[in-house]
Structure 1
Amino acid sequence: MPYRRIGSTAVGAIGLGAMPLSIEGRPDETRAVATVHAALDAGVTLIDTADSYHWHADERGHNELLVARALASYGGDTSAVLVATKGGRGRPGDGSWTVNGAPGHLKRAAQDSARRLGVEAIGLYQLHKPDPAVPWAESVGALRELLDAGTIRAAGISNVTTGQIRTAHALLGDGLVSVQNQYSPAVRDSEAELRLSAELGLAFLPWSPLGGIARSSLDGPSGTTSSGTAFHHVAAAHGVSPHRVALAWLLSRSPTVIPLPGSSRPSSIRDSAEAAQLHLGADELALLDAWSPGGRPGAESPDDRPAEEPSSGLLVPPA
């Protein structure tokens, strides 16, 4: 798989959003571990997790522990794998998502995440979401302290504005390496954040990168699909899934983009990883750039729900 950079670290151009392996509707552990192993076999070396990726109130860190077990049981070399985790959100068990950007909480959360992942220092630790009750500079200051203490090797921020990116960059300098915002064919309101990330040399990690694109199977040798978006038409021309086209389009947006498709089946992540090898022509890219979901975006499949929760707090976008 082609590589892209997060700070000084090279990772596969497609990552794995591990959230679906631990939230509501999650697969059993055998399939979950098989999904992580399939990702590694396909050349994925970036795995995205968070301490809040769990189902029940008493399961904090479920996804981090799962990822750690999957890596430990993999038969191949995992030395190049970068596990990115996040802190600053919670799940009380009623389906809602909370936010806590207090510096003390973030520092304790990072230490707990390192223990669950079984590492001395977290490769990439990201502030999950700005807390409106805590000054942004104070939350980012906790990341600075974690970097200085060696608890984390690199820092990132998620669900942020351009102003918040600039503030974090001023406070963290080279310690800030990534921005993780929602970005997909159907949701493109982070264009300014994507451009600023490229300008500052920060990796841009889209969560929910497949939003608005239904995973329609190909209908026979003609390659036609049952859905009519531009992404489906391009997919039909190449004989591949529309999700693969969506990820290839995201990669074309900037050399700093590393999509994080969520998967809960080995077949899904294998298909997603192939997007790194899919070449789209200039006319195809122009068609995809111009596409708008309008009033009828494709529904996301249960297997590929967002790689991150929407800001509404729901696990999937409202109908």
Structure 2
Amino acid sequence: MHRRTIGGTAVHPVGLGAMPLSVEGRPAEEDAVAVVHAALDAGVTLIDTADSYHWHAGERGHNERLIARALARRGGDRDRVLVATKGGRGRPGDGSWTVDGRPEHLRRACEESLRRLGTEVIGLYQLHKPDPRVPWAESVGALRELLDAGKVRAAGISNAGAAQIREAHAILGGGLVSVQNRYSPADRSAEPELRLCEELGLAFLPWSPLGGISRSSLDGPSAPDPSGPAPADTPFHRVAAARGTSPQRVCLAWLLALSPVVVPIPGASRPASVRDSAAAAGLVLEPAELALLPDRTPA
């Protein structure tokens, strides 16, 4: 297994997207902690969270506190895990999402995340989404301030277009290490941003990477599925059947084969799905198999 790099940090090629552990339909806390521990046991060293990953009003930071408690129970594991959190979005508790990219909000949000995570510095702090009401340079400038103040070791941006990535790179320089955009078999619209990450040497962290591939066989029918119903017979399913593995594992292996800068962060709400996702790092698809799966969009 070849590890991937986010900034100067080597990580397991597949991370854990922790959002399902705190939003609608979430498991009980002990079961959620078991998912995090299963990820650690499988070798996962990147955990993606956010201050807005919660369900009810008044529980902002639920996911960050959960991750902190799970890591605290494992002692030394914390030192080998890159915890990536995000600021700039909110959830009023009615199922909706808000966005707030004001520098003063991001500075305050970072301080609150530091307290919830129980750390003096955040390994990777990401701007969750561009705020159309705030100049992009001002929002990214807040990340620059946090880097300069030593509050965060590295910065990332999420849901950003190519022009925004270039502007953030100009402002942050080597402090910008990652871009987290949606990318999956069902949605490859971020192909230009993936190519730009290759050009700039940034890690590309696909969120919802299993879109278009049903996860019900591993996570159960109650698991969150932001991509909606998925067909049960796709090229991924056919390759998986021939290999004797899951289509989800094939999907993640396909993503890893697209580019060495890709580090997918599939969500999970059961230990079985975490273990299956992590095992994708050891699944090397043959050229004939890759020919059956979607190719890179021509430049």
TM-score, with length taken from structure 2: 0.93
Matched with 2:292 is 287
Equivalent residue number for residue 187 of structure 1: 187
CA distance in structure 2 between the partners assigned to 1:61 and 1:182 by the alignment: 22
SS class of match (2:56): coil
In structure 2, the partner of 1:308 is: none
Quick one: distance in 2 between partners of 1:179 and 1:291?
A: 18
Matching of residue 165 in structure 1 with residue 165 in structure 2: yes
Structure 1 unaligned regions, length at least 5 = 219-225, 293-319
User: Offset at 1:289?
Assistant: 1.6
Note closer, same or farther for the CA distance 1:217–1:19 as it changes in structure 2 (3 Å cut). closer
- The equivalent position to 2:272 in structure 1, one of 247, 253, 267, is 267
Larger mean CA deviation between 209-218 and 55-64 belongs to 209-218
Aligned Cα root-mean-square deviation (Å): 1.6
Report the equivalent of 1:113: 113
8 Å Cα contact 1:230-1:291 kept in structure 2: no
Moved over 6 A (4+): none
- Please state whether the residue corresponding to 2:178 is helix, strand or coil: strand
The one-letter code sitting in structure 1 at the alignment partner of 2:206 is P
Q: Could you tell me whether the CA contact under 8 Å between 1:216 and 1:241 is conserved in 2?
A: no
Q: How many residues of Structure 1 are paired with residues of Structure 2 in the alignment?
A: 285
Structure 1 residue aligned with 2:100: 100
CA distance in 2: counterparts of 1:21 and 1:216, whole angstroms: 16
Relative to the length of structure 1, the TM-score reads 0.87
1:221 is matched with which residue? none
- Tell whether 2:258 aligns with 1:253: yes
Distance 1:138 1:75, change over 3 A: closer
Matched residue of 2:292: which SS? helix
Matched, 1:277 2:282: yes
Question: Contact 2:258–2:296 (CA<8 Å) still a contact in 1?
Answer: no
Alignment gaps of 5+ in structure 2: 219-230
- Please state how far the C-alpha of 1:196 moved relative to its aligned partner: 0.3
8 Å contact 2:84–2:122 — kept in the other structure? Answer: yes
Q: What CA deviation, in whole Å up to 9, does each residue of 1:141-167 have, x standing for no partner?
A: 000000000111100000000000000
CA distance in 1 between partners of 2:32 and 2:201 (Å): 33
> How much has 1:76 moved relative to structure 2?
5.3
Q: How many percent of aligned residue pairs carry the same amino acid?
A: 74
Q: Which one-letter code corresponds to 2:247 in the other structure? A: P
> 1:236 is aligned with what amino acid?
A
Contact 1:177 1:203 in 2 (8 A): yes
Deviation, structure 1 residue 78: 2.8
3-state SS, counterpart of residue 110 of structure 2:
helix
Return the letter of the residue paired with 1:26.
R
Residue identity matched to 2:97: W
Contact 1:216 1:242 in 2 (8 A): no
Please say if residues 47 and 82 of structure 1, whose CA atoms lie closer than 8 Å, have aligned partners that are also in contact: yes
